Structure 1
Amino acid sequence: MDEEQIAAIRALPKVELHLHLEGAAPPDFIRRLAREKSVRVDHIFRPDGSYDYGDFVHFLTVYEAATSVLKSPEDYARLTRAVLEESAASGVIYTESFLSPDFCGGGDLGAWREYLAAIREAADEAERDLGITMRGIVTCIRHFGPDRAKRAALCAAETAGDWLTGFGMAGDENRGHQKDFAWSFDMAREAELNLTTHAGEWRGAREVREAVRDLRVARIGHGVRAIEDPEVVDILVEKGIVLEVCPGSNVTLGVYPRIAAHPVDKLRRKGVKLTISTDDPPFFHTSMADEYEALAHAFGWTEEVFEDIAVTAAEAAFCDEATRAGIRKRLERP
């Protein structure tokens, strides 16, 4: 694939459905905010200024240390603007970001409303200035346990609407079981929120099966290890479950050794609906344009393949139909 083809692929309009707001914080942004607040977080950075972590559990620790610098609704407004500027520069026209009441007000509903209002105001300004549309998905944190998840679900249910449109679960997949969080997902479902959950990144195909069975989600974050069980792949295809695939994240964290070994192409060829996202882009030294380029090199994916994936993402987006129609229009070739 020549440079002209790669440039055209990088320039395509993109739809991202799996982005953690705090995890997308540029390191410079966190360092600058830490200096303003006299908070010491030097230990989470490498000499070159990037985030410093080892395995997945250490990554979660560093993630939460970086998040601890964000202490007010105004901090989150500034973060939202910084993240959306990065996304828009990579060609993203629509993004869904995971937001956690645990980090935004400690699970208190009143505080959560203030944080959410600040995030939404910043997102609206970015849409006006940068042309990127954002919607929010509340996530409970799996390793914080089911009881705290219930508080997150209450925050989600009480603020559900045209902007806060989904509920999901992030965190350490090796802690507990999907079914432990069924109460929270049932509450979110009753509030007419769309559902997703992280599964099939670490525990394998069985975790994907349990996510579909026990939480009845429409999408799954990652889900790539479904490839290890043909029956689970068939379940995804039959039910039309959409995977939020983050190849660069999976490689950097060691789920797969390199992009060429990633099962995203096999899953696509087997008929699984999937989308491409960055997860926590500065942690994994990636962007949506970088993800597209890496996949083009690894699998020979053409502009048409990426356009089809973007359309799949638009159809799977947790937004109202008017917003979806606008995304579709912007994805059309001139």
Structure 2
Amino acid sequence: MRDRERDRDSDLDLEFDVAELRKVELHLHHEGAAPPEFIRRIAQEKRIDLGKVFDARGNYAYTDFVDFLRVYEAATEVLKTPEDYARLTTAVLEQSAENGVIYSETFLSPDFCGGSDVGAWKEYLHAIREAADAAERNMGIVLRGVITCIRHFGPDKARATAACAAETAGDWIVGFGIAGDEAKGKPKDFSYAFDMAREAGLHLTAHAGEWGGPQSVRDAINDLGVSRIGHGVRAIEDLALVDQLAESGVVLEVCPGSNVALRVYPDIARHPIQMLRERGVKVTVSTDDPPFFHTTMNREYEALRTTFSWDREVFAEIARNSLDAAFCDADTKAKLAKRLEETPA
């Protein structure tokens, strides 16, 4: 077996630049993708003190996952107007495009954009869409939105968020999900919100299997009816669940750099993405909250290439998985599929 593996590895072409590869990203938090300098600039303009958000080098400063949530929400507090979110959208898409991303789905929460008031949310969404449309024209990157309720804000707030999602579902708002502290509540507590989103025609995803164990993944699938799981990597602790994921086609939005930065796993070599893939699970690659975790899509790809000897074919598989699992419409997928097949200039 080892000899065959050595022979296979010797045939791999690993001499390529991951920056040249076109990428599809499905798991990106809009505010979490804000460059630190962008948030500092907005805070200075508004004379808001963010002394406990950054370290001495100007990076986001947090100690663990709960503290990360605190810093995330504190940084988000400076974004108070639709114009702020338009500027944020441009900044986020510039960085994604620089890393070869041609399609991205971003998690947006009306909790942060107008306090889950439908009218206010529509104003924020209009500004975000205008900036996204401009980025598509100027940078060639396509963006779609997945509205996300915040788990630790509770089920009642989730219903208000789902109402915003239902009111704006369509060709641009294409999905609904849940993020936040997995220790707060159970997936079934949010089933009403997910039912609202499903009835509005939205595709569904949920964070699970990051801090919760394998059962949290099962619960998200069984109680919320999702087709994708955000993270989901701790499913590896239950091989029966892994086989269920492979057989059902539920897709994992895997964020290796995030998992290492938050110490879900000690290093990339011990991350289970390769084991999950080898057992037939459809995995994708994303950055989650890239500046918080000092990562980019190029860095994620490079780490996977050097650690697991992923060649061009594997990355092409990852891109296809991602596009197949994307929540956008068939016409958009067809156009993006052609771009994935093209040789980069």
TM over 0.5: yes
Which of 13, 31, 38 is matched with 2:40 structurally? 31
- Please give the root-mean-square deviation of Cα atoms over the aligned residues, in Å: 1.2
**How far off its partner does 1:178 sit?**
0.5
Which of 58, 69, 88 is matched with 2:97 structurally? 88
Name the count of aligned residue pairs.
Answer: 333
> Whose Rg is larger?
2
Alignment-derived partner of residue 3 in structure 2: none
Deviation per CA, 1:120-171: give whole Å up to 9, x if none. 1100000000000000000000000000000000000010000000000000
Counterparts of 2:20 and 2:55 in 1: how far apart (Å)?
31
Matched, 1:164 2:173: yes
Q: Which amino acid aligns with 2:205?
A: T
Alignment-derived partner of residue 323 in structure 1: 332
**How far off its partner does 1:205 sit?**
0.5
User: Structure 2 vs 1, CA of residues 178 and 6 (structure 1 numbering), >3 Å: closer, same or farther?
Assistant: farther
User: Structure 2 vs 1, CA of residues 155 and 6 (structure 1 numbering), >3 Å: closer, same or farther?
Assistant: farther
Counterparts of 1:77 and 1:21 in 2: how far apart (Å)?
11
**How far off its partner does 1:10 sit?**
2.7
Which of 40, 52, 56 is matched with 1:47 structurally? 56
Which of 148, 155, 163 is matched with 1:154 structurally? 163
Alignment-derived partner of residue 98 in structure 1: 107
Matched, 1:280 2:289: yes
**How far off its partner does 1:6 sit?**
5.6
Contact kept in structure 2, 1:8 and 1:303, CA below 8 Å? no
Contact kept in structure 2, 1:242 and 1:272, CA below 8 Å? yes
SS in 2 for 1:180: helix
Counterparts of 1:134 and 1:5 in 2: how far apart (Å)?
30
Deviation per CA, 1:208-263: give whole Å up to 9, x if none. 01111000101000000000001111221121100000000000000000000000
Matched, 1:211 2:220: yes
Identity of aligned residues (%): 65
Matched, 1:247 2:256: yes
Deviation per CA, 1:181-215: give whole Å up to 9, x if none. 00000000000100000000011101001111000
Alignment-derived partner of residue 178 in structure 1: 187
SS in 1 for 2:17: helix
Contact kept in structure 2, 1:138 and 1:168, CA below 8 Å? yes
Alignment-derived partner of residue 291 in structure 1: 300
Counterparts of 2:95 and 2:168 in 1: how far apart (Å)?
27
Deviation per CA, 1:79-104: give whole Å up to 9, x if none. 00000000000000000000000000
TM-score normalised according to structure 2 size: 0.95
Greater than 3 Å deviation, 4+ residue runs: 4-7
Contact kept in structure 1, 2:20 and 2:100, CA below 8 Å? yes
**How far off its partner does 1:302 sit?**
0.5
Matched, 1:21 2:52: no
Alignment-derived partner of residue 5 in structure 2: none
Structure 1 unmatched ranges of 5 or more = none
Contact kept in structure 1, 2:14 and 2:305, CA below 8 Å? no
Contact kept in structure 2, 1:11 and 1:289, CA below 8 Å? no
Alignment-derived partner of residue 266 in structure 2: 257
Counterparts of 1:6 and 1:101 in 2: how far apart (Å)?
44
Which of 178, 189, 199 is matched with 2:198 structurally? 189
TM-score normalised according to structure 1 size: 0.98
Counterparts of 2:103 and 2:289 in 1: how far apart (Å)?
16
